[in-house]
Amino acid sequence: MEDKENRTPGDDVEKVVAISRDPSASREWTARLAHFAETREKASYIQLFRHFAPKVKAYIIRLGLTEATAEELMQETMLAVWNKAHLYNSSKAAASTWIFTLARNQSIDWMRRQKYPEYELEDWHVGEDEGDAGEQSVLSDRMAEAMKTLPENQAQVIYMSFFEGRSHQEIADRIGIPLGSVKSRIRLAADKLKSVWRVDV
Amino acid sequence: MSIRHHLDEATLLSYAAGSMSQGMALVTACHLAMCSACRKRAQHSEAIGGALMETLTPSPISDSALDAVLAAIEAQDEPIQVETVRSKPVRPVDSDVPAPLTDYIGESFDEIEWKRIVPGVYYFDLPCQSGGVSRLLRIAPGKAMLPHTHEGNELTLVLKGSFTDEIGRFAAGDIADLDDQIEHQPLVDSSEDCICLVATDAPLKFTTILGRLMQPMTGF
Ligand SMILES: [Zn+2]
């Protein structure tokens, strides 16, 4: 957490959102994780590891943890991918989304020495209205596109939430705007990003 | 059960990002355990995190990382038993404690050592890290919570019974997701005690002399 204070809030929003992505990549990784969950093939796991481990580590460093801690938590996260793969449901989340939640939980558990309250990881097999496998990853790609269209002041609050782990109040204090304004910016941004789910795939 | 009061979009995003206090994350997770509509919204909020993680420039990882993790996998006693890990059924809300809360108080409200604030109003503080208030409140029929405002966000989830305040009526599963604009005084209108899970990201401010007197004693 020590280097958090030295960073300008949202200083590299543009760098983050400007990176272009291979539009088919997310679907591929989601299929690969689903395949691994089913078969537990070591070769698939190694491919997943090579792709996601460096992303997971980058995310954890963004939260303000040291390189050594990030390496350790990345390894814990990737171990959890192996151990919890049977809970993965590709109709509910893209691979990147599921692995993101594992990395988030590992990081918070480490920072707080307390388990992050989860809502139903174990219930993912109890299907509500499940979509098609692969649909989530298409939507995830569309959302990455939508991210690029956010006005900078909305991208900034999203970025500060996910990459700096700042609460609404902390964001309000940093930017110097009222709490209510932070929340309405987040609502506007979330609404825009989530609009991909309201369009037919 | 029909839930009428849901989570704010900004609250869901903060939960997905892992950027709210432990207490508020607990209340959020408990509502999600009870509300399939918000669960779906939460999955979409988490997808924002997944998409953002994908945009990051990969960090170099240690050369031995893969070997270290594969060795850790080998060292685990048993292979993962896919078939034995069965999902727990989602429990009906009025029967008991929502799943995320069982880590803190077990499966029932009966064992809680309630502390009295005033006659008919009891509380129990949960050991949540990272600041703010996180507590269970038990309030008798016809009694009210002390009127208060708050500097930051406040989440109040009804677990049993019901109350009415300036905003509306809240029954089991309903969540009041408020910010600092609102002063409210919930009044219990059920025939049984109302049990709520409350969390804030900053200390509460009471607006009556009684409230101010209570403040040092109860930590409100
Ligand atoms: Zn809801």
- Of B211, B65, B19, residue with least CA distance to A62: B19
Please enumerate in sequence order all residues whose Cβ is within 8 A of that of B98, keeping only pairs 6 or more positions apart, or say none: B29, B30, B33, B34, B91, B159
Q: How does DSSP assign A76-143, residue by residue?
A: HHHHHHHHHGGG--TTT--HHHHHHHHHHHHHHHHHHSSPPP-S-GGGTTS-SS---TTHHHHHHHHH
A175 and A118 in a common domain: no
Of A147-161, B8-22, B91-105, minimum mean pLDDT range = B91-105
- A115 CB neighbours in chain B (<8 A) are 103
- The CATH code of the domain that includes A35 is 1.10.1740.10
Alpha-carbon distance of B205 to A74, in angstroms, equals 41
pLDDT digits (tens, 9 = 90+) for B117-167: 889 999 999 988 767 889 999 999 999 876 666 667 889 999 999 999 888
Q: How confident is the model at residue A140 (pLDDT cuts 50, 70, 90)?
A: confident
**Per-residue CA distances from A27 to A142, A143, A146, B47, B107 (Å):** 12, 13, 17, 13, 40
A154 and A110 in a common domain: no
Query: What is the b/e burial string over A48-73, where b = at least 16 CB atoms within 10 angstroms of the residue's CB?
Result: bbebbbbbbbbbbbbbbbeeebbbbb
Classify residue A181: in a domain, yes or no. Answer: yes
Structural contact between residues A196 and A136, judged by C-beta atoms closer than 8 angstroms: no
pTM for the model stands at 0.86
Domain ranges of chain B: 1-54+99-220
Q: Does B80 touch chain A (CB under 8 A)?
A: yes
Inter-helix orientation angle A42-62/A67-84, to 10°: 140
Classify residue A81: in a domain, yes or no. Answer: yes
A118 and A30 in a common domain: yes
Examine the pLDDT at B67 and tell me if it is beyond 50. Answer: yes
pLDDT value for A70: 97
The total number of structural domains in chain A stands at: 2
- CA-angle at A99, arms to A151 and B18, nearest 5°: 55
pLDDT value for A124: 44
A195 and A128 in a common domain: no
Alpha-carbon distance of B34 to A157, in angstroms, equals 28
Mean pLDDT of all residues belonging to chain A:
84
B1-54+99-220 under CATH 3.40.50.300, yes or no: no
Ligand 1 centre to CA of B89 (Å) is 19
Of A149-153, B71-75, B213-217, minimum mean pLDDT range = B213-217
First to last CA, chain B: 31
How near does any CA of chain A get to the CA of B148, in Å? Answer: 18
In angstroms, what is the C-alpha Rg of chain B? 20
Structural contact between residues A117 and B26, judged by C-beta atoms closer than 8 angstroms: yes
Classify residue A143: in a domain, yes or no. Answer: no
CA dihedral angle for residue B58, residue B60, residue B64, residue B68, rounded to 10 degrees: -40
Alpha-carbon distance of A41 to A36, in angstroms, equals 6
Q: How confident is the model at residue B203 (pLDDT cuts 50, 70, 90)?
A: low
Alpha-carbon distance of A17 to A156, in angstroms, equals 11
Of A119-133, A181-195, B24-38, minimum mean pLDDT range = A119-133
Task: State the DSSP H helix or E strand holding residue B19, giving kind and residue range, or none if neither.
Answer: none
Mean pLDDT, residues B68-94: 66
- B14 CB neighbours in chain A (<8 A) are 161, 167-168, 186
A198 and A117 in a common domain: no
- The CATH code of the domain that includes A187 is 1.10.10.10
Query: Helices H, strands E: what count in chain B?
Result: 6, 11
Classify residue A110: in a domain, yes or no. Answer: yes
pLDDT value for A8: 46
- Of B12, B64, B44, B55, residue with least CA distance to A62: B55
Of B39, B82, B202, the CB nearest to A119: B39
Best probe of the B interface among A97, A130, A140, A164, by most B CBs < 10 A, is A97
Classify residue A7: in a domain, yes or no. Answer: no
A175 and A100 in a common domain: no
pLDDT value for A105: 96
Alpha-carbon distance of A99 to A121, in angstroms, equals 12
Ligand 1 centre to CA of B198 (Å) is 16
A87 and A63 in a common domain: yes
Q: What is the ipTM of this complex?
A: 0.86
A128 and A160 in a common domain: no
Classify residue A42: in a domain, yes or no. Answer: yes
Q: Output the six-digit token pair for B1.
A: 């059960």
pLDDT digits (tens, 9 = 90+) for B170-193: 999 999 998 766 677 789 999 999
| Phi, psi values for residue B209, rounded to 5° | -65, -40
Provide the percentage of residues in chain B whose pLDDT is more than 90: 62
A126 and A156 in a common domain: no
A156 and A78 in a common domain: no
pLDDT digits (tens, 9 = 90+) for A14-63: 444 444 455 567 888 999 999 999 999 999 999 999 999 999 999 999 99
Domain residues for A118?
A: 13-133
Q: Does B71 touch chain A (CB under 8 A)?
A: no
Please enumerate in sequence order all residues whose Cβ is within 8 A of that of A51, keeping only pairs 6 or more positions apart, or say none: A29
Q: Does B20 touch chain A (CB under 8 A)?
A: yes
